[in-house]
């Protein structure tokens, strides 16, 4: 993994370099086969793009071994984009544009694409969203049609597109405040201060910020008899400071924001067993229910999406057909992957390694030790201090054992130790608790505690050296309110505890 990290930092240096070519005069390993850069230059239909790669100091980077996915516009597409732009492109424009079309670390063939966001962000730090039409046509960001797919080179795959994928600069707040159809919703965002939340690009710790906003139009409010912010406040019972988290207006607006990047495809991907799930919102203790019924996706049983996947630089907007007051959803099956960046934004720092298994671009796997300073939702204590660790572990063959995304959180507590992990909000009710974990010779065992209640035990050892995974029923627990919880492992026997996900199944 250290080699891959070195490559990432080397590429990052290239991407942030000044006007002079940082690779000038440097020696690169020659490729006997065709590289991305040499293929584009020899083809003759991409001279404009090749010129941009050279101006952005990325041409040489695309001649060395690696894993690239490149969406490359034809000369005609680039010419049309420049005409539409109506001005000369600066070097910063060119640099951002070519990065916007390139993923480092992946070779994504078209059969690895889906309706929805790609498995990782581009080199510019933005998600691209792909969509297949019923006739088989493939579009990127609903702008560019892929006219030639899966051109495989020694260091990457090229998809030729008929339009430049225009970079998105507007934040979620920019999109809402610029749209006159959302003037009342924008006023509510501004009154609560949540507009500042959806205008940011990073979290306090440096992790990338992503949000999914469910916007309400003025016309939808009018159908409810609401034509002003004061009328909305009156309806909600808000009479105090709307910037306070306990204020009804604040909670209402926060309820329209999901932490994380959820396209329509993400929202419509539901557990097969129940076709329903609850997702935590920015309003503390409040969740939104998503349910499929007769082929349609509903929010909170009655609401539908009018328009979906309006992309911003820091997330996505969906327009809903109701004003969406707070709702208390029923308890449904909840499966939490211990390495899910939608619930724990800090994991976006590990997105490359998390998604390598999906993209098929890794070798045997990756391994990375995690610190509680970088991942504050977890805590570890051992006696003697420092004898335990928490690590991120990924292997390409693990999905065949039912391991989600091929990655686990590996915890070692020594002979005496404990590990705490903050769980997201779960709807109140009684649940059967199960943990899906790896079982190998020499692994550890622990007590499983939730909110200071002992639920049961987890033993991760087996007599076999095969990388087997199994579902371990732990016990049951009743939650009396919608709130977050603390999971705790307490060492019973030394050895690693490799865990994939925890499952809460409602018990009637």
Residue 336 vs residue 467, higher pLDDT: 336
Bridge-based pairing of strands 116-117 and 257-259 is: unpaired
pLDDT of 326: 96
Task: Report the distance separating Cα 112 and Cα 122, nearest Å.
Answer: 16
Name, in order, each residue with C-beta under 8 angstroms of 439's C-beta and a sequence gap of 6 or more: 460, 461, 462, 464, 468, 469, 470
Tokens of 97: 């544009």
**pLDDT over 60 at 5, yes or no:** no
The order of strands in the sheet holding 257-259 is: 257-259, 211-215, 315-320, 305-312
Confidence of residue 353 (pLDDT cuts 50, 70, 90): low
User: What residues pair up with 458 in beta bridges, in sequence order?
Assistant: 446
**pLDDT over 90 at 71, yes or no:** yes
Tokens of 213: 């906003």
Domains 2-161 and 172-330 share a fold: yes
Backbone angles phi, psi at 275, to 5 degrees: 55, 40
pLDDT of 30: 40
- pLDDT tens-place string over residues 483-492: 999 999 999 9
**pLDDT over 70 at 362, yes or no:** no
pLDDT of 464: 58
For 349: left if phi > 0, alpha if psi spans -120 to 50, otherwise beta; the answer is: alpha
Portion of the chain with pLDDT greater than 90, in percent = 66
| The domain over range 335-506 is classified in CATH as 2.60.120.260 | yes
The order of strands in the sheet holding 116-117 is: 102-104, 68-73, 156-161, 144-153, 138-140, 129-132, 116-117
**pLDDT over 50 at 29, yes or no:** no
> Among the listed ranges 306-320, 330-344, 471-485, which one has the minimum average pLDDT value?
330-344
Task: Report the distance separating Cα 475 and Cα 453, nearest Å.
Answer: 11
Task: Report the distance separating Cα 161 and Cα 40, nearest Å.
Answer: 13
Mean pLDDT for the stretch of residues 387-392: 93
**pLDDT over 70 at 445, yes or no:** yes
413 upstream amide cis, omega within 30 of 0:
no
pLDDT of 352: 55
Mean pLDDT for the stretch of residues 125-146: 92
pLDDT of 463: 60
**pLDDT over 90 at 282, yes or no:** yes
Task: Report the distance separating Cα 468 and Cα 370, nearest Å.
Answer: 24
CA angle 113, 267, 180 (to 5 degrees): 105
Residue 187 vs residue 15, higher pLDDT: 187
Mean pLDDT for the stretch of residues 179-203: 96
Task: Report the distance separating Cα 53 and Cα 34, nearest Å.
Answer: 17
Confidence of residue 1 (pLDDT cuts 50, 70, 90): very low
Burial of 392 (0-12, 13-18, 19+ CB in 10 A): buried
Bridge-based pairing of strands 389-395 and 156-161 is: unpaired
Residue 306 vs residue 7, higher pLDDT: 306
DSSP run (H or E) holding 356? helix 351-359
pLDDT of 31: 43
Helix, strand, or coil (residue 321): coil
Helix, strand, or coil (residue 257): strand
> Which of 21-30, 173-182, 462-471 holds the top average pLDDT?
173-182
Instruction: Report whether 392 contacts 350 (CB < 8 A).
Output: yes
Q: pTM for the complete prediction?
A: 0.83
pLDDT of 420: 96
Task: Report the distance separating Cα 496 and Cα 494, nearest Å.
Answer: 7
Q: What is the CATH number of domain 172-330?
A: 2.30.180.10
Helix, strand, or coil (residue 114): coil
In the chain, what is the straight-line distance between the N-terminal and C-terminal CA atoms, in Å? Answer: 46
Parse the chain into domains and list their residue ranges: 2-161, 172-330, 335-506
DSSP run (H or E) holding 475? strand 468-479
CATH superfamily of 2-161: FAS1 domain (2.30.180.10)
């Amino acid at each position: 993994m250290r080699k891959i990290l070195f490559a990432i930092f080397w590429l990052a240096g290239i991407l942030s370099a000044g006007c002079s070519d940082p690779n000038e005069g440097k020696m690169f390993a020659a490729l006997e086969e065709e590289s991305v850069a040499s293929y584009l230059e020899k083809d003759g239909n991409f001279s404009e793009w090749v010129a941009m790669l050279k101006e952005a100091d990325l041409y040489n980077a695309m001649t060395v071994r690696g894993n690239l996915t490149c969406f490359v516009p034809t000369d005609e597409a680039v010419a049309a984009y420049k005409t539409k732009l109506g001005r000369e492109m600066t070097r910063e424009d060119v640099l951002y544009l070519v990065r916007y079309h390139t993923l480092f670390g992946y070779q994504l063939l078209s059969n690895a694409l889906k309706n929805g966001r790609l498995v990782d962000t581009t080199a510019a730090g933005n998600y691209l969203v792909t969509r297949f039409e019923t006739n088989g046509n493939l579009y990127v960001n609903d702008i560019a049609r892929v006219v030639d797919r899966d051109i495989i080179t020694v260091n990457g795959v090229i998809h030729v597109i008929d339009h430049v994928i225009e970079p998105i600069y507007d934040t979620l707040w920019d999109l809402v405040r610029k749209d006159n159809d959302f003037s009342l919703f924008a006023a509510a965002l501004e009154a609560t201060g949540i507009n500042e939340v959806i205008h940011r690009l990073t979290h306090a710790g440096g992790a990338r910020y992503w949000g999914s906003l469910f916007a309400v139009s003025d016309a939808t409010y009018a159908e409810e008899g609401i034509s002003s912010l004061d009328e909305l406040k009156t309806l909600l019972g808000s009479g105090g400071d709307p910037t306070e988290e306990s204020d009804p207006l604040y909670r209402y607006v926060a309820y329209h924001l999901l932490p994380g990047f959820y396209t329509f495809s993400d929202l419509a991907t539901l557990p097969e067993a129940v076709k329903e799930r609850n997702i935590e919102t920015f309003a503390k203790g409040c969740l939104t229910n998503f349910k499929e019924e007769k082929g349609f996706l509903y929010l909170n049983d009655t609401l539908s999406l009018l328009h979906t996947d309006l992309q911003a630089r820091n997330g996505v907007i969906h327009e809903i057909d109701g004003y969406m007051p707070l709702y208390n959803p029923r308890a449904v099956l909840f499966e939490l992957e211990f390495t899910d960046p939608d619930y724990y934004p800090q994991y976006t720092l590990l997105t490359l390694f998390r998604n390598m298994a999906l993209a098929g671009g890794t070798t045997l796997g990756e391994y990375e030790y995690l610190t509680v300073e970088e991942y504050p939702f977890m805590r570890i204590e051992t006696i003697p201090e420092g004898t335990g660790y928490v690590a991120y572990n990924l292997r390409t063959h693990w999905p065949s054992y039912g391991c989600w995304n091929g990655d686990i959180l590996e915890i070692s507590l020594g002979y005496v130790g404990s590990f705490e992990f903050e769980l997201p909000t779960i709807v109140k009710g009684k649940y059967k608790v199960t943990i899906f974990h790896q079982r190998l010779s020499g692994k550890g065992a622990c007590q499983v505690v939730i909110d200071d209640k002992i639920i049961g035990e987890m033993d991760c050892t087996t007599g076999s050296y095969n990388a087997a995974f199994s579902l371990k029923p732990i016990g049951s627990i009743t939650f009396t309110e919608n709130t977050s919880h603390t999971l705790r492992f307490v060492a019973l026997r030394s050895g690693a505890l490799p865990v994939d996900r925890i499952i809460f199944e409602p018990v009637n």
